Chains A and B, each alone.
Chain A
Amino acid sequence: MTTFDTALVGASSQPPHFQQFSNLVRYGVAGLMAVIGALALIFDFPFAQLGVFQPMMYALGLVVVCLVIDVPFRKLNYQLGMIGVYLFGAAAAWVAWYSGGNWLSQDAADFIWKVTALFSFLFTIAAGVWNAPFKNFAAKTAAIPMMYIVLFAFIGCSLWTVLYSTSDARIYPLYTYVGLKQYYRLFGAEIWHIAVKNVLIYIALSTTGAMVAGFLLAVFMDQKIRLEGLFRTIYLYPFALSFIVTGHVWAWIFSPEYGLEKSVRQLGWTTFSFDWIANNDMAIYCVIIAGLWQGTGLVMALMLAGLRGIDEEVWKAARVDGIPKWRTYISIVIPMMRPVLITTLVFVAAGAFRVYDIVVALTDGGPGISTTVPSQYVYKYLFSGNIGQGLAAATTMLVVSAVILIPWVYVEFVKGKQIR
């Protein structure tokens, strides 16, 4: 009986201290390889402009993925997973070393490490699949794309951006440390000041505007009206459109030569003036009007869902107590809807913070530079030969959103221990 069990349970029947020791050694070696590979790649990679960070990220990612899928606890997959990491670390170091001495052509080195990376990835997956009977490896294997995306796209890319914002990279992403020079330049640039001012105005007005108008619409929609579906469809359809479409539609209406101004004058009100779009000080409000047209319906829909979530008994109780309707909304309903309000606010504000497409379509930052927003600033510098500067602006955006988001995420997700 016992021998049979041992075979089934596998590695867990080994003496624990032995297992721990061998894990330590193996992890140590694998980790060292990965670090050597990464360092070599950072400092010696001859084709660094193609993306120094990526091989490094592959190595780190593999180590973490192996750790997470419990590699050390099951024999077969443990070996396979480790082989993957060894292979990668060794090959990355090797390629970097020799090609640094111009030993290999760029294409050959590129090819070699890509093949190795692919194999190490396959080994990791195989490690998961073949051990499926032991633990939930299918689930972990299925989560590997998500892990890679989190590690490379979200964490890796953000870290890379932060790192390279301290470089003077221009057309090529080459790393030369220049400290905070890019930031001094950024905060000294007039266009950045305008962009920050614009985005602040945009966030403040479009958020409050959408929240107030959206809530008001939702309250009116909640009066047991006929044709509710029709009204909702009308309020919400702009949300289905691209910001590019919205921008151009409103640009046409705002156009002084052809749009609203000309048409109202034609109708007889000859002194009517509406040329905000051509006015440096007012153009940003055109963006806000267009943004509100697109976004209010969404807030309305979310608010309406929130209103419908309130127990009918609350209304009955308020009526029995003789509380007027408006009073019930302000003193009872709004406090009860606090979670919905906060969530909506965060979504609307986060959307406003990264406003981009609609400005591109409506004003393209004009007239002059008067409606530039930070996202546009980043984009402009990234793709016009001043990468370091663009990354410094992007990092600033990252820091600001992190400062605002982290308390919210903490309250919403960590404290509540529940992701909605």
Chain B
Amino acid sequence: MANVQLRDVHKSFGATHIIKGIDLEIAHGEFVVFVGPSGCGKSTLLRMIAGLEDITSGEISIKDRVVNDLPPKDRGIAMVFQSYALFPHMTVRQNVGFGLKINNTPPAELESRVNEAARILKMENLLDRKPSQLSGGQRQRVAIGRAIVRNPEVFLFDEPLSNLDAALRVNTRAEIAKLHNDLGATMIYVTHDQVEAMTLADKIVVLEAGKIRQVGSPLELYHKPNNLFVAGFIGSPKMNFMEVEAVSSSASGVIIKSADFTEQRIPVAKGNVKAGDKLTLGIRPENMRADTKGDLKISGKMELVEHLGHETFVEAKTKSGVSFTGLIDGETLVKLGQDMALSFKANDCHLFDAAGEAVHRLKVPEIVHA
């Protein structure tokens, strides 16, 4: 079972502390995505799993074996890099077969495994070309082929789609998903693009400044963000945050008010919220509607209107100077500068305490298994 475990992993470059204690369990066959803003340490963490960076302290094990002191080749991993990292003087065939050749694989077996990888990736016709004769997408495919051919327990991807254009990115993303499905291997994937994270992952690990902020399935992170950082990071357009004050709290929820809202009960677990606490209310733009049928109403002057056809994106500012955005139905015609009220349901609201930690919602949409 190719599981991966990280126990209190730290990394420092001199005095700079990059990774500050990571504990993580990755089960066999899982597709895990590390996501976070640039500089959060996600690539460093991946390179540490690969064995390309030393571990300052802590323990990494692959397949229940501590690999801290093992060189990359003995860890049963393969890695795909952002810039493809193809050796320019070798043909595709030599590039793909390089790792096998080093490990003294018999020529016949090498040949058949390279051909098998080429078949899986549908690149048989490219085998005798040099990397300079390939397009970006083809190069990325060769890079993946180089990983597949080694038959690794764990695949590591370091932002593999960043250098591709948008259309190719969608295609290759689908191919990677299919590959995971076919091979059933454990995959760890680093990206700063949350769409890639949401579409590919079984489990997303959100990192910020060298620490894990939340681990969970894509929908879990979307519906139950543990903190402001995750709430703001997952979901596009970004969740609206508004300053509110707690009026009272009970088992059925917390009653809040602000300059822009009348008092309203939000169904969240009471936790240790007390009357008078400063809280942050979070509401996703896609939960806004263009009428006043919701539980909470907010009105403001339209500062940006983008009609996208099937939906309309608006950005507005209330009288008290709070900006908010909404993703509303495409039929409502909105004019710039117009005063308009949007509303949303209390059930869709998220509340965060002064420390930025979530006050858990009582009613989370059920995830329906189709």
Contact = CB atoms under 8 A, between A and B. Distances in A.
A140 to B, nearest CB: 15
B65 A1 contact: yes
Centre residue among B64, B66, B68, B70 by max chain A CB count within 10 A: B66
A9 B68 CA distance: 8
Contacts of A1: 64-66
A13 B81 CA distance: 34
A8 B64 contact: no
A162 B149 CA distance: 60
Interface string A1-22: 1001100111010000000000
Nearest to B54: A135
Contact of A133 (B64, B66, B68, B71): B71
B69 A4 contact: no
Contacts of A231: none
Interface in B64-92: 64-66, 68-71
A5 B68 CA distance: 9
Nearest to A12: B69
Contacts, number: 16
A272 interface: no
Chain B: interface residue count, which band? under 10
A334 to B, nearest CB: 37
A134 interface: yes
B67 to A, nearest CB: 9
Interface in A1-55: 1, 4-5, 8-10, 12
Interface in A125-175: 133-134
A8 B70 CA distance: 8
B64 A9 contact: no
Interface residues of A, number: 9
A4 B71 contact: no
A9 B59 CA distance: 12
B71 A5 contact: no
Contacts of B70: 8
B65 A4 contact: yes
Contacts of B64: 1
Contacts of A9: 66, 68-69
A266 to B, nearest CB: 62
A70 to B, nearest CB: 13
A12 B57 CA distance: 12
B25 to A, nearest CB: 16
B47 to A, nearest CB: 16
Contacts of A12: 69
Contacts of B66: 1, 5, 8-9
Contacts of B65: 1, 4-5
A336 to B, nearest CB: 31
A12 B69 CA distance: 10
Contacts of B71: 133
Contacts of A4: 65
Contacts of A8: 66, 69-70
Interface in B172-194: none
A414 to B, nearest CB: 15
16 contacts: A1-B64, A1-B65, A1-B66, A4-B65, A5-B65, A5-B66, A8-B66, A8-B69, A8-B70, A9-B66, A9-B68, A9-B69, A10-B69, A12-B69, A133-B71, A134-B69
Interface of B: 64-66, 68-71
**Which 5 residue pairs are nearest across A and B when measured between Cβ atoms?**
A5-B66, A9-B69, A1-B64, A8-B69, A134-B69
Given A1-B65, A8-B69, A10-B69, 13 more contacts: A1-B64, A1-B66, A4-B65, A5-B65, A5-B66, A8-B66, A8-B70, A9-B66, A9-B68, A9-B69, A12-B69, A133-B71, A134-B69
